[in-house]
Amino acid sequence: MSYTPETLQLLAPDGTRVVSEATEAYLPYVDALTEQQLREFYRTMRVIRRFDIEAGNLQRQGQLALWIPSLGQEAAQVGSGFAAKAHDHIFPAYREHAVGHIRGLDVVQIIKMLRGLTHGGWNPAETGNFHLYTLVIGSQTLHATGYAMGIKFDGMVGTGDPEKDTAVLVYFGDGATSQGDVNEAFIFAQSYQTPQVFFLQNNHWAISVPVRVQSRTPLFHRPRGFGIPSVQIDGNDVLMSYAATAASLDAARAGEGPQFIEALTYRMGAHTTSDDPTKYRDDDELRYWQERDPISRFETYLRGLGESEAFFTEVNDEAEQFASEARARTLALEPPAAESMFAHVYSQPHPVMDAQRQAFADYEASFEGGA
Amino acid sequence: MATETLTMAKALTLGLAAAMEADDKVVLMGEDIGPLGGVFRVTEGLQKQFGAHRVLDTPLAESGIVGTAIGLAMRGYRPVVEIQFDGFIFPAFDQITTQLAKLTARHEGALQLPVVIRVPYGGHIGAVEHHQESPEAYFAHTAGLRLVSPATPHDAYWMIQQAIESTDPVMFFEPKSRYWPKGEVDLASPGAELHASRIVRAGTDVTVVGHGAMVSMLLDAAELAAEEGTSIEVVDLRSLSPIDYAPLLDSVRRTGRLVVAQEAPGSVSIGSEIAATVTEKAFYSLEAPVLRVSGYDTPFPPAKLEGAYLPDVDRILHAVDRALAY
């Protein structure tokens, strides 16, 4: 579909390794991966896919207002998520459940947001520097760039000290590439030579609008016009996603400025549970991408490496357990106290908040013992 | 000894410099604010004094400036953004209202966003389209923002420092037509908190209230009225969000009459909010309805017509007479 001769790939859809000159520079990253890390890649993809399905079910059963499926994008997210170092900062869009999980975010925090209990609510300092989801398309790219400017001003780039040098990884989608903010983020990033990686998940659809409406040219060509080096990768290849992101983050931390990755992937499900993809796309396209499923190809690869059946059974059980726990915890979630809406609008006491909190409390109290 | 006579522009320069001296996390961002010193020269000399890493001439993109300021604040910086002109703030409207204003609440208090956005605003400078507007009501309508506007060099010097010290986003509206008149600045003491309104001329017959450039207009009107035997009390609002109603209500309870003056269009304005609130809280003290004197609900007209569009001393006194006629 949108693969180009420049699309980088290490793992073919049939689970075999692809050897090419174009990917040679990335091999050290993959060769350094331990068996345990490869297992973690697989485990995370499977667990999050199972969780994602469970969350969609919870929405259908009336337990969530909305769910935002990540089905099909697991390799793009898991590879890139594992490539970031603990002290790097990650600015997600709103579909990066796997990345959040990798960074230590309790996925029930995402559930809370989509159950209508919070607008985010987690503290990035406690979730592996995984910042809040942003629903205004592309806005977070500027926050990421500003954050990366701060890292640069702090002198935490290009020192050669791996404990010090820090980068920012920001996620966005193909629809977001049309937003002014994303293009302004490219401009500021280039101008200030920020230590950051723009990670575009091209899942081919912005709700119902295909990527060809956003761009007549491959999206990874666009940042080059801004002076930002870019690559296009097979985003359903977890090894390529990992290696490309690790290499780009290394370059960013080393002071080589912003980097850009277009990960070709596919939104196998709906945009959200409010969406109906049968109205705008055909089954052939879905089948094409199902044949390029990120998890099955990696499973084939691991089996080829001699991974035992017991491992796959264990991961399967773990995924079931994870989903079942998420369900149980979701059902136990209670709404916050109504007064909490006044709590954090400002960081300091505020007369309007104080007055309205009191008026609300008085109004509520007026019902006590009443009708 | 600690008092100097300064223009508001110079007072702001000194206030910014003092804030930058006090905290090396304070950085200035904006278009043409470096070697040029900004189109109004408010940042004149600051890049030379503090370096290009503290005074950033940014790319020409308002949303980009505010969006990256948010990211810098997340990193622990205290960005002070200059929007070049009032009418050019709207490309940043999304970042200000959907992001900057809401991020503290979305983090449930775990994140503070000490970002100041300086906005030169208002008319009386004979400029072209988009250069004379008063867009403050758009932002006063948005929870999570604080809005202030100094009327004097003294307040400008202190309020910019207080705004930078705030742990919430502050929109700092600078009345362009007041940049150049000089006034006394007490460099030793601010005299008031950031969000306090203040009675700046005592009177007994009618209260008039306004902010920014309107304050000197109101004082001129009070002077003229005094010659004709009418005693006007003038309140400088200073803070547009939150509004400090206590001095205003105290004044209205004594005079029984209130006229609100503003350059902005009157519909759904700061003046509308004051009229509604004063009516709710001081109904039995009022001898007349609260009257508004505003810009008309038209686009800001071409400069040669601004004298007809903007409230002036005559229109203010006309409203005072109407209030007294009840």
Q: What is the pLDDT of residue A223?
A: 97
- pLDDT per residue as tens, chain B (326 positions): 589 999 999 999 999 999 999 999 999 999 999 999 999 999 999 999 999 999 999 999 999 999 999 999 999 999 999 999 999 999 999 999 999 999 999 999 999 999 999 999 999 999 999 999 999 999 999 999 999 999 999 999 999 999 999 999 999 999 999 999 999 999 999 999 999 999 999 999 999 999 999 999 999 999 999 999 999 999 999 999 999 999 999 999 999 999 999 999 999 999 999 999 999 999 999 999 999 999 999 999 999 999 999 999 999 999 999 999 99
User: Would you state the pLDDT for residue A1?
Assistant: 58
Q: What pLDDT was estimated at residue B81?
A: 98
* pLDDT digit string, tens, across residues A327-355: 999 999 999 999 999 999 999 999 999 99
The reply to whether B246 touches chain A by the CB within 8 Å rule is no
Q: Is B114 helix (H, G, I), strand (E, B) or coil?
A: coil
Does B143 reach chain A within 8 Å, measured CB to CB?
yes
Per CATH, the number for B198-325 is 3.40.50.920
- What is the tens place of the pLDDT at every residue in A266-290? 999 999 999 999 999 999 999 999 9
Whole-number Å distance between alpha carbons of B152 and A169? 45
Give this complex's ipTM: 0.97
DSSP secondary structure letter of residue B302: P
Per-residue model confidence (pLDDT) at position B68:
98
Selected catalytic residue, list B53, B107, B130, B131: B131
* Domain spans of chain B, in order of start: 7-186, 198-325
Q: From A122, which residue of chain B is nearest by alpha-carbon distance?
A: B107
Domains B7-186 and B198-325 are alike in CATH topology: yes
pLDDT mean over A208-224? 96
User: Where along chain A do its domains lie?
Assistant: 21-336, 337-371
Judge: A142–B95 Cβ closer than 8 Å, yes or no: yes
If pLDDT is split at 50, 70 and 90, which confidence band does A370 have? low
Is A207 a residue whose pLDDT tops 80?
Answer: yes
Q: What is the pLDDT of residue B326?
A: 94
Q: Do A136 and B105 touch (CB under 8 A)?
A: no
- CA-wise closest residue to B107 among A113, A141, A64, A100: A113
- Residues in chain A closer than 8 A to B66 (CB atoms): 142
Q: What's the rounded mean pLDDT across residues A241-260? A: 98
A331 contacts chain B (CB < 8 A): no
Q: Which residues of A touch B109 (CB under 8 A)?
A: 343-344, 347
CATH code reported for the domain at B7-186: 3.40.50.970
Percent of chain A with pLDDT over 70: 99
Q: What is the CATH number of domain A21-336?
A: 3.40.50.970
- B211 counts as catalytic: no
**Nearest C-alpha of chain B: how many angstroms from A17?**
40
pLDDT interval class at A369 (50, 70, 90): low
Question: Quick check: A347 contacting B, CB < 8 Å?
Answer: yes
